[in-house]
Amino acid sequence: MQTELPQSKPSMEARIHGELLAHLPQDLYIPPDALAVYLEAFEGPLDLLLYLIRKHNLDILNIQMAELTRQYMLYVERMQAIKLELAGDYLLMSAMLIEIKSRMLLPNPADVIFEDDPRAELVRLLVEYEAIKLVAQRLDELPQVGRNILVADAHYHQISIVAPPEVSLDDLMDAWKNVLKRARHFQHHQVGRMELSVREHMSIILRKLRDALTNGESLVEFSQLFDVLNDGIPKLVVYFLAILELTREGLLRITQQAAFSPIYLQVGHSA
């Protein structure tokens, strides 16, 4: 037996003021994958219940519990049968429905809901959820920035260029003093001009090696580092000290195949 499947998500259509628009599969056979899609369209047990109520034209204020419970259980069983990941909320609702139904069987079932009607809480939940469902849809239909509202956003030139913070030599000194004050292991350490020059040249050498590496050369010949003719003795000494210090710190490796053959420098030991 073939059953007509809804054109779109049923709950999207079943929502409007009890106007029932969706087609619900009436009969038993629905291809399981189609059923899964169909059932997943429900946002939860309240959504499903609302759908059933609207579909069967049940009065939300005077719900026929037996019929509603039967319908609901049918769906839950189908969901379980096709192993749809069933939120615990659905089972909780089953329990609630069954409980209400059994309480309705007690004497004095009322047609009109009053305060201690067993259905009161369920009705409250359904009414509130339905109101939220409707209003959520209306919110979604409101014009929205980015969707149907586009805000004027023309360009203008910021006049002043963002000035980077001013840093003076004094600021730098103050910072360094602070560091030294706190770092106890600097106790006996004095940074002299010579040592700073060495450290500067350590950076220069590393930079040259880095650039050479970018060009595919892992080795740089020692003599390429400086200009013997123009650099002057002090500078060469500083270079030499920088190389020694880099080597000591393991940042540089020096290789020489044989005495008097070219000396090569490379980063670390393998890079």
Partner 1 sequence: MNEPKNIVEIKLILEAALLTAGEPLSLDDLLHLFAERMERATLRMLLDELKADWAPDSQKATMELVQVATGYRFQAREKYAPFLTRLNPEKQQKYSRATMETLAIIAYRQPVTRGDIEEIRGVAVNPNSIRQLQERDWIDIVGQRDVPGRPSLYATTKHFLDDLNLRSLGELPAMDDFVHPEMQLDF
Rule CB under 8 A: which of 70-129 touch partner 1? 87, 89, 93, 113-115, 120, 123-125, 127-129
Whether the Cβ atoms of residue 63 and residue 53 lie closer than 8 Å to each other: yes
User: Does 47 participate in binding partner 1 (rule CB under 8 A)?
Assistant: yes
Task: Please tell me whether residue 254 binds partner 1 under the rule CB under 8 A.
Answer: no
In the complex with partner 1, the residue whose CB is nearer, 3 or 94, is: 94
* Length of the chain (residues): 271
- CA-based nearest residue to 10, from 47, 56, 45: 47
Total residues contacting partner 1 by CB under 8 A comes to 102
Q: CB 264 → partner 1: shortest distance, Å?
A: 16
> CA of 248: how far to CAs of 26, 58, 252, in Å?
85, 88, 8
Distance of CA 151 to the CA centre of its chain: 27
CB nearer partner 1, residue 27 or residue 153? 153
Which residues lie closer than 8 Å to 130 by C-beta, 6 or more apart?
A: 15, 50, 60
The nearer residue to partner 1, 29 or 247, going by C-beta atoms, is 247
**Among 45, 79, 239, 243, interactor with partner 1 by CB under 8 A:** 45
What span, in angstroms and rounded, lies between the C-alpha atoms of 218 and 211?
Answer: 10
Compute the least distance from the CB of residue 98 to partner 1, in Å.
Answer: 16
DSSP 5: P
CB of 128 to partner 1, least distance (A): 6
**61 binding partner 1? (CB under 8 A):** yes
CA distance 54 to 138: 19
Q: Which 136-165 residues touch partner 1, going by CB under 8 A?
A: 136-140, 142-160, 162-165
User: Residue 149 or 258: which CB sits closer to partner 1?
Assistant: 149
Site for partner 1 in 170-229 (CB under 8 A): 171-184, 186-194, 196-197, 199-200, 202-203, 206-207, 209-210
Residue nearer to partner 1 on the CB measure, 3 or 55 = 55
CB of 198 to partner 1, least distance (A): 9
Residue 19 near partner 1 by CB under 8 A: no
Contacting residue, 60, 84, 219, 241, with partner 1 by CB under 8 A: 60
Classify burial at 230, counting beta carbons within 10 Å of its beta carbon; exposed 0-12, middle 13-18, buried 19 or more.
Answer: exposed
Tell me how crowded residue 61 is: count the other CB atoms within 10 A of its CB: 13
Residue 160: partners with Cβ closer than 8 Å, 6 or more residues away:
none
